[in-house]
Structure 1
Amino acid sequence: MNPPSLVPQIAARPSLKDFFQGVGLLGRAFGLIFRSGKLFLLSALCALVTLVALVGLVALLWRYTPELVGSFFARPEAWYGKAAWYAVLTLTFVVLLVVGANTVPPLLLAPLQDPLSETTEELCGGPPSPPFSLGGFLRGLVTGIAHTLARIFFLLLGLLVLLPLNLIPVAGSILWTVLGSLWSMMWMAGEHLAGPMTRHLYPFAEVRRMLRQRTALCLGFGAGVYLLLWVPVLNTFFLPVAIVAGTLLYRGLVAAGQLPPPPDPDPLLK
């Protein structure tokens, strides 16, 4: 296997076809996971935890989403009103499930995210993963949870800003769901691109710049992760696949000259 061939070739200039390349990153990630024993074992462990989390999340949302929608939009008696109510209920359930799937499993799996990303980079020709140490593991655990909580805050903040749209009868709830889904897709791209970039000490401003300059590419990547959540069985792999695909995207952006080389670490920390 030729490691450089694993790195996606990203064009220097953005175009609409970037969207489909972004979606295709998930296929690359799946292929790499099933070719690497280490990635497969890490991904299988993630999948098991994710499965338990998703089953619990679906059960909770199935029970409480009708009450939430009813607090904004009482269920009408007329058939056409009921049809609209159930449409809003379904769309709200979808958005809340996506939000929950991108908050609960990442918090539970924070210690495994960096090893997945590091192994992916190693397979792509990057430096080998550092040897295990208890201090490094604990620092990674604390850092991973802190960064995940910070990114979850921005996801929820965006949805909260859109929340007043629900005050518009029927149409507002549908608009909130559509815009919330698009926001979630872009957030997913930023979330999983930020993982390897944070590990290499890039400032978050560089992540925002990539989201702005390569919007179609990042939106395609985020849309692919979003859709993966709705494929039975495969959705339990959504987090490790997203981490691997985000790392491949990072490597592709560096190889294409879209990102500068990683900043040098502080000599005092060496």
Structure 2
Amino acid sequence: MTPHSAVPHLAPESRLSDFFQGLGLLGRAFSLLFRSRRLFLLSALCAAVTAVALVGLAWLLYRHAPGLLAGYWALPESWYGRVGWYTVLVLSALVVWVVGANVVPPLLLAPLQDPLSETTEAVVGGDDGPPFTLAGFVRGIVTGVAHTLARLFFLVLGLAILLPLHLVPGVGSVLWTVLGSLWTMTWMAGEYLAAPMTRHLYSFAEVRRMLRERRALCLGLGAGVYVLLWVPILNAFFLPLAIIAGTLLYRGLRQANLLPPPPDATPVALK
């Protein structure tokens, strides 16, 4: 695969098979990672920080999750009550760990996300984006933080709406885990597609439009990142691979004329 061919060719209309094309973006990203020395070094640095963050999150959950759950629901005396209690503990901890993995490493590695996306576009022959100016740099940071806060709000809101499912005996916690995972996958797609789109000064409304109009494609990307989080060693590379894959998706959307040309350097309002 040549660097230019790493950009996916997308059908003009949405279709169910788009899910597998979105899933395959992680493979394209992994292959592209070795095409550029700078891309590889940036990814290795991200992987080192991410590995420490993921281990730290797992340790915190191991130490404190049982106590937090016990504060709301005391450990039952009966064996079936204990089975239910530990089921809720494990399923909830898994979702919280995934959410934490998509909040803590990106915050720690925020300064490297734009260089990763920019280098990816350079490797595949993409646009360089607007010329560097101090005002544009500051505006980009403000826009990126605003978009990130908006996306985090929607992530937490969706999980909070699903939280009462825990009250349904038996299958409630399973349903919460399944639906919460699907919601998190969708959020991941938005998070990593937004990385290059924010750099090119697209509004958050455009990110939402792509998630809505190419739902299967974006869900495939989110599912790929979600699965990658559970693969030991490789999960340390989930952030750079997700950013590279999101940038390839952005380039594919532009190539298929599904996105309008990037806005100019005028301020972008959060919609």
CA distance in 1, matches of 2:204, 2:134: 27
Amino acid at match of 2:187: W
2:215 aligned with 1:226, yes or no?
no
Normalising by structure 2, we get a TM-score of: 0.89
Deviation at 1:178, TM superposition (A): 1.6
2:17 counterpart residue number: 17
Match of residue 69 from structure 2 = 69
In angstroms, what is the RMSD of aligned CA positions? 2.3
AA partner of residue 216 (structure 2):
A
Give the 5 Å matches for 1:139-178: 143-178=143-178
Alpha-carbon offset, residue 152 of structure 1: 2.0
Moved more, 119-128 or 57-66: 119-128
Shift of residue 212, structure 1, vs aligned partner: 1.1
Superposed CA offset, 1:34-57 (max 9, x none): 221111100111111111111111
Tell me if the contact between 2:10 and 2:256 (Cα under 8 Å) persists in the aligned partners: yes
Task: In structure 2, give the amino acid aligned to 1:185.
Answer: M
Q: Which residues in structure 2 correspond to 1:200-219 (within 5 Å)?
A: 200-219=200-219
User: Which string of whole-angstrom CA distances, capped at 9 and with x for unpartnered residues, describes residues 107-127 of structure 1?
Assistant: 110000000000111111113
Per-residue deviation, 1:145 = 4.2
Looking at structure 2, the residues matched to 173 and 202 of structure 1 have their Cα atoms a distance apart, in angstroms, of 38
CA displacement 1:17-39 (0-9 Å, x = unmatched): 11111111001001111221111
Shift of 1:128: 4.2
Summarize the alignment of residues 37-76 of structure 1 with structure 2, pairs less than 5 Å apart: 37-76=37-76
Structure 2 CA distance for partners of 1:260 and 1:134, relative to 1, 3 Å: closer
Give per-residue Cα distances to partners, 1:214-245, cap 9 Å, x unaligned.
11111111011011111110001000000000
Please name the residue that 2:117 is paired with. 117
Aligned equivalents of 1:138, 1:109: Cα separation in 2: 17
TM-score scaled by structure 1? 0.90
Q: CA deviation at 1:164?
A: 2.5
Does residue 262 (structure 1) correspond to residue 249 (structure 2)? The answer is: no
1:155–1:187 contact (8 Å) kept in structure 2: yes
Partner Cα distance (2:30, 2:245) in 1: 8
For the 8 Å contact 2:29–2:241, the answer to whether it is kept is yes
Alpha-carbon distance between aligned partners in 1 of 2:220 and 2:161, rounded to the nearest angstrom: 23
Q: Which residue of 2 aligns with 1:30?
A: 30
263 and 95 in structure 1: CA distance in 2 versus 1, 3 angstrom threshold: same
Question: Which residue is equivalent to 2:89?
Answer: 89
Change (3 A) 1:138 1:261: closer
Distance 1:11 1:86 in 2: 45
Alpha-carbon separation, structure 2, partners of 1:237 and 1:45: 9
* Contact persistence 2:19–2:221 (CA under 8 A): yes
Structure 2 gap segments, 5+ residues each: none
How many residues are matched? 267
Alignment partners' CA distance in 1, 2:71 and 2:174:
16
The CA distance in 2 between the partners of 1:64 and 1:70, in whole Å, is 10
Distance in 2 between the 1:127 and 1:209 partners? 22
After alignment, is 227-236 or 135-144 more displaced?
135-144
In structure 2, do the counterparts of structure 1 residues 146 and 202 end up closer, same or farther at CA, with 3 Å as the change threshold? closer
Q: CA deviation at 1:147?
A: 3.6
Mapped to 1, the partners of 2:107 and 2:261 lie a distance apart of 29
> What is the CA-CA distance between 1:169 and the residue it aligns to?
3.6
Find the residue that maps to 1:35 and give its secondary structure. coil
Give the distance between the partners of 1:22 and 1:235, measured in 2 at CA.
Answer: 18
Relative to 1, partners in 2 of residues 1:238 and 1:178: Cα closer, same or farther, differing over 3 Å? Answer: same
Shift in CA distance, 168/2, structure 1 to aligned 2, threshold 3 Å: closer
Query: What displacement does 1:84 show?
Result: 2.9
**2:52 and 2:130 mapped to 1: Cα distance?**
30
Alignment of 1:176-191 (within 5 A): 176-191=176-191
CA contact (8 A) 2:47 2:237 kept: yes
Please give the per-residue CA displacement for 1:167-197, whole angstroms capped at 9, x wherever unaligned: 3344332222221111100000000001111
Worse-matched range after superposition: 37-46 or 175-184: 175-184
Cα pair 1:49 1:105 within 8 Å, conserved: yes
What CA distance in whole angstroms lies between the structure 2 residues aligned with 1:13 and 1:146?
Answer: 31
